[in-house]
Amino acid sequence: PPDLFYNDTESRKYTTSSRIRTIQSNMTHRALSLLSLPSPSLILDIGCGSGLSGEILSTVSPSDGGPHIWVGMDISASMLDIALQRDVDGDLLLADIGQGIPFRAGTFDAAISISAVQWLCNAESSEESPQGRLARFFNGLYASLRRGGRAVCQFYPKNEAQRSMISGAAIRAGFGAGILEDDPGTKNSKVYLVLTVGGGDVRGDITGVVKGMSGVDVVDARRKGKEGKKREERKGSKGWILRKKEQMERKGKIVKPSSKYTGRKRGPTF
């Protein structure tokens, strides 16, 4: 887990590495270009670490829509301690994003995350699941952003299944989502999950920013209004059981896998 991996030694090594600082700067500027914020905004920096990305948010020029005000949250106390020593401008919060985003609904104009979300795919105990941690994170993020708010999460998926699990959790939380990959198929590949909260027209809809770009897969699963009444499911039916199991998985509960026998009526006993 990141709170153990990034101890005092690793945190200082990460922050002082010129190579890492350059990569972090490039990815932060890329995320800002995808956010396309026209004016100074209140931004949540998720997995802010020692404040490398936050420094860039604070120094965006007025001609580019800045400077921005930011709040950073991270699970590593060592990283946040270095951020305090570096006297960064943003407010800092020690918190596990896998337990949710602890801010009032509609607080932020935008959110940014660099190299953090992939850590949620690791379950740290038998009582938690990656699906539950991802669900709590994206549900909390969705609530904390204002209507029309935007978010860009850069992450390193281990494989296609992990990539689909992360994007799927965002979509189930209600986001409109687009995945953008820079330098695909190379060791320098960077994946960006581009998200928007409602909004309506393209100016408030970040899927409009990435739509039409090469190598972009846009999935917009937000509610478009009532499209007819759902058929009521009988309690105890297979559909009802599967829906309940999915709800429990979203809450992070351990659920037994479904099979062809799920929801099947048992014969009489003698």
Report the alpha-carbon angle 130-223-169, nearest 5.
10
Q: Which residue has the higher pLDDT, 206 or 84?
A: 84
Give percent helix, percent strand, percent coil of the chain, each to the nearest 5. 40, 20, 40
Most confident of 9-13, 113-117, 125-129, 254-258: 113-117
Report the alpha-carbon angle 76-82-85, nearest 5.
145
Instruction: Work out the average pLDDT over 14-20.
Output: 85
pLDDT of 59 reads 93
**Which is nearest to 37 in space by CA: 136, 110, 118?**
110
Reported confidence tier of residue 263, pLDDT bands at 50, 70, 90: confident
Reported confidence tier of residue 122, pLDDT bands at 50, 70, 90: confident
Tokens of 73: 């949250």
Reported confidence tier of residue 125, pLDDT bands at 50, 70, 90: low
Assess whether pLDDT exceeds 90 at residue 32. yes
Integer CA distances (angstroms), 269 to 195, 227, 237, 265, 266, in order: 53, 43, 20, 12, 9
The four Cα atoms 138, 141, 142, 148 give a dihedral, to 10 degrees, of: -130
d(CA 65, CA 55): 15
Integer CA distances (angstroms), 192 to 32, 202, 219, in order: 11, 19, 13
Assess whether pLDDT exceeds 90 at residue 254. no
Q: Which residue has the higher pLDDT, 84 or 9?
A: 84
Reported confidence tier of residue 154, pLDDT bands at 50, 70, 90: very high
Assess whether pLDDT exceeds 50 at residue 78. yes
pLDDT of 215 reads 54
Instruction: Work out the average pLDDT over 161-170.
Output: 92
pLDDT of 144 reads 95
Instruction: Work out the average pLDDT over 155-176.
Output: 91
Assess whether pLDDT exceeds 50 at residue 6. yes
Question: Around 194, how many Cα atoms within 13 Å sit in the side-chain half-sphere?
Answer: 27
Integer CA distances (angstroms), 241 to 70, 132, 172, 249, in order: 43, 18, 19, 12
Strand residue runs (E) in the chain: 42-46, 69-74, 91-94, 108-114, 145-155, 176-182, 190-196, 216-220
Instruction: Work out the average pLDDT over 184-209.
Output: 71
Amino acid identity at 179: I
| pTM value > 0.85 | no
The H or E element that residue 163 is part of is helix 160-172
Q: Which residue has the higher pLDDT, 124 or 35?
A: 35
pLDDT of 226 reads 45
Q: Which residue has the higher pLDDT, 37 or 185?
A: 37
